[in-house]
Amino acid sequence: MDFALSEEQEAIFDLAYSFGQENIAPFAIEWEKQGTIPKELWSKTSELGFGGIYVSEEYGGSGLSRLDATLIFEALAMSCPSVGSFLSIHNMVGGMIDSFGSTQNKDMFLSDLCNMKKIFSYCLTEPGSGSDASALRTKAARTNEGYILNGTKSFISGGAYSDAYLTMTRTGEEGPQGISALIIEDPNEGLSFGAFEEKMGWRAQPTAQVQFDNCHVPGQNLIGEEGKGFSYAMAGLDGGRLNIAASALGGAQFALNSSLTYMSDRKAFGKSLNQFQALQFKLADMEVKLQTARTFLRHAAWKLDTKAKDASKYCAMAKLYVTDISFEVANEALQLHGGYGYLTDYGIEKIVRDLRVHQILEGTNEIMRLIISRQMLTE
């Protein structure tokens, strides 16, 4: 296996990194205070092809690999994990439509998705079903024109902000086989939103409950086939877990880079902090942790790109390992900054707050352990 990135992949990383440093990093703290991301950013993002990273070129996407996507999200997260992760959700929806949607679905939605004229969110979690996603209660009743949707989705990134919501809903029997995927476009008389959530991290992302009350949805907004929604969701989450891991890695790399700069400038007992052997050892440990996490992540992405039979297990392992390690490194970086790390000025406390949720969403890390162990026992 060749572990080196190609020249094209290095260029992709550099492009995303430069874009983030110019268009996101200078405003990240301000956007966090405002609790929103200016939509003008997305038109700039789409010009780079980042609106449909792994949507096929035929439908306006960039047609890149899952490995390429991890490079983009790692680079963007070095400017702000919250903003980069929001973009990853939009791209997850695009990948699901491209992979599982009908030709009509693709013609209807992918052009606006890829050029980011419309922002897409993903609705799976409900107040009563988080980790047990197949127990969801949101129901879509069949009509002559399509569906009437009733139910509630919680913790939705982009709630009351996005233009369309890919929603997992029950169209049939209990369990996974009765779940279908529908796209609900805003505005819709039956679509409403709760108040924006007050969160520990990811504050730049508007997050709200999404409510469906006799929400009429055209039949053509069904993605793929009825009863296949849960399988689409699980397949989408494989790539989503890689992206969330990549974003955590980028945030942690920023924290480590910031620590190197701080320790070079900061002096104590007559010399700079980076001259103390104990702190040098700490930096070495942090570097080893991030490099091993990066290698594991890219291996998992390669598994998904090559459709390896154990790709889902590797995606779960990467999500578990990389997000845990990244949070650990970010927390250690805060400690190295001392009291200054606790202040907003240095951006380290924001990284710690942002990365904590990476251990929870796209399936908690406890659920990752469940996925891994079950696959081990059936191999």
Q: Which residues are catalytic?
A: 362
| CB hemisphere CA count around 90 (13 angstroms) | 34
Distances from the Cα of 304 to the Cαs of 18, 127, 299, 321, 361, in angstroms?
27, 31, 9, 17, 20
Q: In this structure, what token pair is assigned to residue 360?
A: 């929870």
212 forms bridges with which residues in the sheet? Answer: 151, 191
Q: In this structure, what token pair is assigned to residue 204?
A: 């730049």
Q: Is 121 helix (H, G, I), strand (E, B) or coil?
A: strand
**Cα 269 to the chain's mean position, in Å?**
43
User: DSSP labels for 304-364?
Assistant: HHTT-TTHHHHHHHHHHHHHHHHHHHHHHHHHHTGGGGGSGGGSHHHHHHHHHGGGTSSS-
153 forms bridges with which residues in the sheet? Answer: 210
CA 349 to CA 361: how far, in whole Å? Answer: 20
For residue 210, give the nearest of 252, 159, 140 by alpha carbon.
159
Could you give phi then psi for residue 128, rounded to 5 degrees? -105, 5
Distances from the Cα of 227 to the Cαs of 135, 174, 202, in angstroms?
14, 11, 33
For CA atoms 195, 179, 181, 91, the dihedral sign is positive
CA 94 to CA 110: how far, in whole Å? Answer: 7
Q: In this structure, what token pair is assigned to residue 236?
A: 């989408």
Burial of residue 13, with CB atoms counted within 10 A of its CB: 0-12 exposed, 13-18 middle, 19 or more buried: middle
